[in-house]
Amino acid sequence: MAHLVKGRTDSVVVIGAGLSGLSAALHLRGAGHEVTVLERHGHPGGLAGRLDVAGHLIDTGPTVLTMPELLEDAFAAVGARLADHLDLVPLHPAYRAEFADGSALDVHTDADAMGQAIAGFAGDREAEGYRELRAWLTRLYQVERDRFIGASFDSPLDLLGRDLVALAGLGGFGSLSRAVGRFVHDDRLRRVFTFQALYAGVSPADALAAYAVIAYMDTVAGVWFPRGGMRAVPQALADAAADAGVRFHYDTEVVSLDRTGPRVTAVRTTTDRVPCDAVVLATGPAQSTRLLRGEPRRPRPLRWSPSAVVVHLGAPRVVEGTAHHTISFGTAWETTFDEIIRQGRLMGDPSLLLTTPTVTDPGLAPAGRHLQYALAPCPNLDAAPIRWDVVGPRYAAQVVDELVTRKLVDPDVEILSVTTPDDWARDGQAAGTPFSAAHTFTQTGPFRPRNLPFRDGNVVLAGSGTTPGVGIPPVLISGRLAAERLRRR
């Protein structure tokens, strides 16, 4: 069992109302703690932000929602029901994959539907390989769910045991690309089941096969969309927390932590002092490091994931048959990761994620209009000294031109807003990336920054920079794990 914070933990201040902070607040309140949430923005969400432009209700953060049972767990902590707060729509297909050779594949989460689609796309042998891959992904998730994804670590020794042997037996410590390649041989299919490595901040060739669980979440467990947009998720969590007695203070900037020895006794804002027995820092690594006056020592500095340019579009119409999520792969693949991770260059032949939420929820744009987001992976600020104030608008236009050329968006789209690494950095994200620390071997599991940074302290971390990692499911889990560290003895 992971170490618990020593001493009283009756009154807890959660700094940050992003998904991890909201998850922590709900689990803490459900366990009987008095909880106060301090958020510098005027609304909940954190990286799952919001921006409204000319009647277009833009979500500025994640667009892919998986594993809704984790949301159900957070609501249930205070006796609430997800169904009473959110209307989640399952997406069919979960994605559409478009390839440079003109072929396309609808990615279904139903095994039979996907098997049939792959048989027509790449032949019966590949369809059988997919079924074997699906079984492997499911087994991998079952092994990792509780012990690797859903647990805190105090030491690498915490990994020892049957689960470690099982994960090794499944090839979890090998290469992701090679592991997937054992089952499917068509290069296009390999991309469908490995592109998720980018979320972990590494190329498929360098990613641990253990991170195939992200593909499980997307392609087996299913993808969902909340009516009202992704912003509806943090708002619903915050509403349920407030109903349960959690106190929220928005537009509140935290500037420092008062300490007595190793323990924090109060949180200082620009206008107030909030006494507490413990603190959950759900602010992201850069802000957490500042408030902690430095971070625990590591053998080597953290390596940050690639960043992304996100172009928000308004359109009078969409291309016929447009899916909610479309992954458009360029001809290049391995070289793309090399460009953005090692060379610090923009993609020469980009692979892009296009999300069109108005095909599911037309109310997110004015009548007769559509809302679309294009995400283009790019180097983070540590990897490349790009002048984004100059390059950003030009690159956004190039991304749109590429989408038009690939016949994925209407030529009459207009750019509503552009987010670059500079914007992520201004929002407090280290190295200008919303994807936090890369999931390299030395930054995975027990080697990732621990959620209890100082063993004798009363500060716990939550969010993508700590255990278990990046993505909506991991950050929701991180909030629960933070709350568990503060469990009364």
pLDDT at 235 over 60: yes
Q: What is the pLDDT of residue 447?
A: 80
In terms of domains, do 419 and 327 share one? yes
CATH number at residue 315: 3.30.9
Residue 103 lies in a domain: no
Q: With residue 486 as reference, give the H or E element that holds it.
A: none
Averaged pLDDT, 459-469: 93
pLDDT band at 169 (very low <50, low <70, confident <90, very high): confident
In terms of domains, do 313 and 411 share one? yes
User: Could you tell me what percent of the chain has a pLDDT over 70?
Assistant: 96
pLDDT band at 253 (very low <50, low <70, confident <90, very high): very high
In terms of domains, do 76 and 145 share one? no
In terms of domains, do 298 and 445 share one? yes
Q: Of 412, 432, 452, which marks where a domain is finished?
A: 432
In terms of domains, do 354 and 473 share one? no
User: How many domains is the chain partitioned into structurally?
Assistant: 3
Residue 105 lies in a domain: no
In terms of domains, do 164 and 175 share one? yes
**What tokens does 123 get?**
């032949």
pLDDT at 119 over 70: yes
pLDDT at 161 over 80: no
Mean pLDDT of the chain: 93
Residue 447 lies in a domain: yes
Q: By mean pLDDT, which of 34-43, 150-159, 223-232 is the weakest?
A: 150-159
pLDDT at 299 over 90: no
pLDDT band at 147 (very low <50, low <70, confident <90, very high): confident
In terms of domains, do 80 and 172 share one? no
Q: What is the pLDDT of residue 211?
A: 85
Q: Which of 234 and 214 is assigned the larger pLDDT?
A: 234
Q: What is the pLDDT of residue 295?
A: 62
Contact 93, 106 (CB under 8 A): yes
Please state the pTM of the whole predicted model.
Answer: 0.95
Residue 104 lies in a domain: no
Residue 95 lies in a domain: no
Residue by residue, DSSP assigns 29-68 as HHTT-EEEEE-SSSSSBTTS-EEEETTEEEE-S---EE-T
Contact 387, 422 (CB under 8 A): no
Q: Which residue has the tokens 């291309």?
A: 319
Residue 465's φ and ψ, nearest 5 degrees, are: -80, -10
Residue 254's φ and ψ, nearest 5 degrees, are: -85, 130
- 384-443 per-position pLDDT tens digit: 989 999 999 999 999 999 999 999 999 999 999 999 999 999 998 999 999 999 888 788
Alpha helices by DSSP H, 319-373: 334-337
pLDDT at 1 over 60: no
Residue 100 lies in a domain: no
pLDDT at 207 over 90: no
CATH number at residue 266: 3.50.50.60
In terms of domains, do 165 and 252 share one? no
Q: What is the pLDDT of residue 296?
A: 65
Q: What is the pLDDT of residue 181?
A: 95
Q: What is the pLDDT of residue 162?
A: 67
pLDDT at 155 over 70: no
In terms of domains, do 80 and 25 share one? yes
In terms of domains, do 476 and 375 share one? no
Q: Of 221, 252, 287, which marks where a domain is finished?
A: 221
Domain of residue 162 covers 110-221
Residue 460's φ and ψ, nearest 5 degrees, are: -120, 145
Q: Of 171, 205, 221, which marks where a domain is finished?
A: 221
Residue 97 lies in a domain: no
Nearest CA to 113 among 94, 98, 132, 100? 94
Residue 99 lies in a domain: no
pLDDT band at 29 (very low <50, low <70, confident <90, very high): very high
Q: What is the pLDDT of residue 156?
A: 61
In terms of domains, do 151 and 232 share one? no
In terms of domains, do 347 and 289 share one? no
pLDDT at 489 over 60: no
